[in-house]
Chain A
Amino acid sequence: MLRVRNLKCFYGRIMAIKGISLSVREGELVTLIGANGAGKSTLMNAISGMLPGWSGEILFREKPLSGLEPPAIVRGGISLVPEGRHIFGPMSVLDNLKMGAYTVYRKQRREAVSGDMEMVMELFPILRERSGQPAGTLSGGEQQMLAIGRALMSRPKLLLLDEPSMGLAPLLVEKILNTLTTLKNQGLTILLVEQNAQAALGIADRGYVLETGRMVLQGPAADLLEDEEVKRAYLGKDYDEFYEDF
């Protein structure tokens, strides 16, 4: 469904992504793990059209995304849940969700929008309770749910998530990730960027490991969880702990 080939991204003269390739097949939940500064968010921004300076190839459902503006990409079926949520704080929860449907409203399909709204409320009942409240007053976890809900309002075929677990308590992380599994089971294709490698690999089908702008490993998520290199670098097992195990 998504195919990236030799993507290079630049911030001015600095190359942040140095020629990476990855693919997400229809119905898959794929995770991209890597440390801070590896280029994960850069990749997300490039796919969603928010980073203009890239070269290489990004194909979505066989069509190149090169040169498309973000609204066109959203209409094409890709929706991003950005890092740090970026919800509209002063606006109500309901209005935030409506904003997510801006491409659908343009087509004058109000009924469809209210149906989608219902679906999101089903998925996150807390949003129904808080629907009139300003989004800025929600807790971190609720804000994350709102951000995901808002992204779903554009009826994406591919959902991109950038660090949805960031700053959340373990229990909430689990809840968010469970929701992703539910969405995947409903047929949504998902590309999940995470620093929390253990959690992400736990729910993903496949994974990629990005290091300083280069892909160093890929494979079935279950294999990566067992991988010594991944364990050392991303699953919080450092050399000392390894030796203690002996």
Chain B
Amino acid sequence: MSSTRISDGKDPDARRQLQLERLQSTLNRAVKNVPFHRNRLREGEELGAESFEAFSRIPFMERKDLGQHYPYGLFAVPLRDIVRIHTAPGTAIHPTVSGYTKQDLSIWREALANALTAAGVTPHDILQICLDSGLANWGRDYKDAAEAIEAGVIPNTPLSIEKQVMVLRDYKTSVLITTPAIAAQLIDHIFDIDLNPTSLNIKTLILVGEAPDTEARSRMAARLHVSTWLHYGLSEIPGPAIAFECGQHEGLHVNIDHFLPEIVDPATGESLPDGEPGELVITTLTARAFPLIRFRTGDRARLIPGECRCGSDHLRMEWFGTRTDDLFSIDGVKVSHDQIGSYISGVMGESPDFTHAVRQGEGNRPYLEVRVAVDDALFSDEIKMLEAVVQNTERMLRENLGVPVQVRLRERSGEKQAG
């Protein structure tokens, strides 16, 4: 499928033409096949792809739209053409379900393989993927891409931190793909058990899910004797490495043959000129099964004007790691307050007051803490009953959000103070 890619060094005009052609057929297919898009993009306005300026008048697609059309409401191809179905934690009661056609997977595999190659990964490398269940989809995507470039890959497996370190050491891992929080925890554990990083083969650390600050990043690089690379992706669709660092480490290259990035003012939705920070909005150009059209990512970023010293003319962006909406991120997994509320009421049968916080657990690994106010309806004089409520709620949240969770019950007055 090398032909689906435009090689670097093409003249910018040809690239714009390709983007325009792909954008127009993406819009046409979406309007033709997906009622949601059809009703949203009125006839006439759907022709908004005439120019990129006109395109910016098309309404946004938001995270809530993904949940509202659970499960297959946004698919743009018959289910028969779908060859893979991914589920990611949504931001409301329903998870986000995304589908991929055979072509989608092959384009995506190639795009990810490019991102890995840009980080210096070769067929001689051994890759270890270490992600929470909330980002399990990314684990699969990275595995496919690593196999495509014929690197050895240890797929994402839920293991304890001790076991992960054992694999890292004994299996001679040379490339580790993980989130900054898990990386920090792994490094701490390596030092705790007296393991000198010089005895490890690891040379590359690819960080995904969250953007660590420069200091944390260089600290990790120094402690583990590795070079670090940052990848930006969406946990829902289409996956990881929508943008990735090249050897210059001066921003992340957006794969503009397949994605059209925009930066908008999060308050007004107006497009911002290149270089201005704002909210990243993404449109897919080649996705067949699940097109995103002006999807608000909620991530703060800015596009970097000018060409990269690496010679690639792929646009670069700076990813700030902060958000423009009320979602919060636990190790790369996006969670909303309302969503936690609906799971709690699902288990408890009512809607008690609660607060939540992201706390640092063992080894600085973040987890979600939820404090629920106990009122008369919830209260029981049997400790066993209360414990069961806590356990069920924890299990429910953990299963649906894919992140570590701790639930605490608080007296109503205590809750007020905590909040």
Binding site for B on A (CB under 8 A): 3, 5-6, 18-23, 25, 211, 214-220, 222-223, 226-229, 242
Contacts and interface: CB of A to CB of B under 8 A. Distances in A.
Contacts of B81: 228-229
Interface-central residue, B21, B47, B49, B51, by most chain A CB under 10 Å: B21
Q: List 10 A-B pairs, minimum CB-CB distance, nearest first.
A: A220-B3, A214-B28, A6-B50, A228-B81, A21-B21, A19-B47, A215-B25, A216-B28, A23-B17, A21-B20
Contacts of A222: 3
Interface string B1-32: 10110000000001001101110110011001
B24 A20 contact: yes
Contacts of B3: 219-220, 222-223
Interface string B199-210: 000000000000
Given A211-B32, A216-B29, A216-B32, A228 B80 contact: yes
A6 B78 CA distance: 28
B50 A19 contact: yes
A215 B1 CA distance: 21
Given A21-B20, A229-B81, A215 B28 contact: yes
Contacts of A228: 77-78, 80-81, 101
A242 B81 CA distance: 12
Nearest to B3: A220
A220 B51 CA distance: 24
B103 A223 contact: yes
Given A5-B17, A220-B3, A215 B24 contact: yes
Interface-central residue, A22, A222, A228, by most chain B CB under 10 Å: A228
Contacts of B17: 3, 5, 21, 23
A229 B24 CA distance: 17
Interface in B102-133: 103
B51 A217 contact: no
B25 A218 contact: yes
B51 A6 contact: yes
Interface residues of B, number: 25
Nearest to A6: B50
Nearest to B286: A219
A229 B28 CA distance: 14
25 contacts: A5-B17, A5-B20, A19-B47, A19-B49, A19-B50, A21-B20, A21-B21, A22-B21, A25-B14, A211-B32, A214-B28, A215-B21, A215-B25, A215-B28, A216-B25, A216-B28, A216-B32, A218-B22, A222-B3, A223-B4, A228-B77, A228-B78, A228-B80, A228-B81, A242-B80
B367 to A, nearest CB: 43
A25 B18 CA distance: 12
A20 B22 CA distance: 11
Interface in B28-48: 28-29, 32, 47
Contacts of A242: 80
B186 to A, nearest CB: 41
Contacts of A3: 17
Contacts of A25: 14
Given A18-B47, A216-B28, A216-B29, A23 B21 contact: yes
B223 to A, nearest CB: 46
A121 to B, nearest CB: 36
Interface-central residue, A23, A216, A222, A227, by most chain B CB under 10 Å: A216
A52 B357 CA distance: 66
Given A23-B14, A223-B3, A218 B21 contact: yes
A133 B270 CA distance: 68
Interface in B86-106: 101, 103
Given A6-B51, A18-B47, A215-B24, 12 more contacts: A21-B24, A23-B14, A23-B21, A211-B32, A214-B25, A215-B25, A215-B28, A216-B25, A216-B29, A218-B22, A228-B80, A228-B81
Contacts of B29: 216-217
Contacts of A6: 50-51
Contacts of B103: 223, 226-227
A219 B4 contact: yes
A242 B29 CA distance: 22
B24 A19 contact: yes
A238 to B, nearest CB: 13
A223 to B, nearest CB: 7
A223 B77 contact: no
Contacts of A23: 14, 17-18, 21
A19 B23 CA distance: 12
A10 to B, nearest CB: 14
A169 B396 CA distance: 66
A21 B78 CA distance: 26
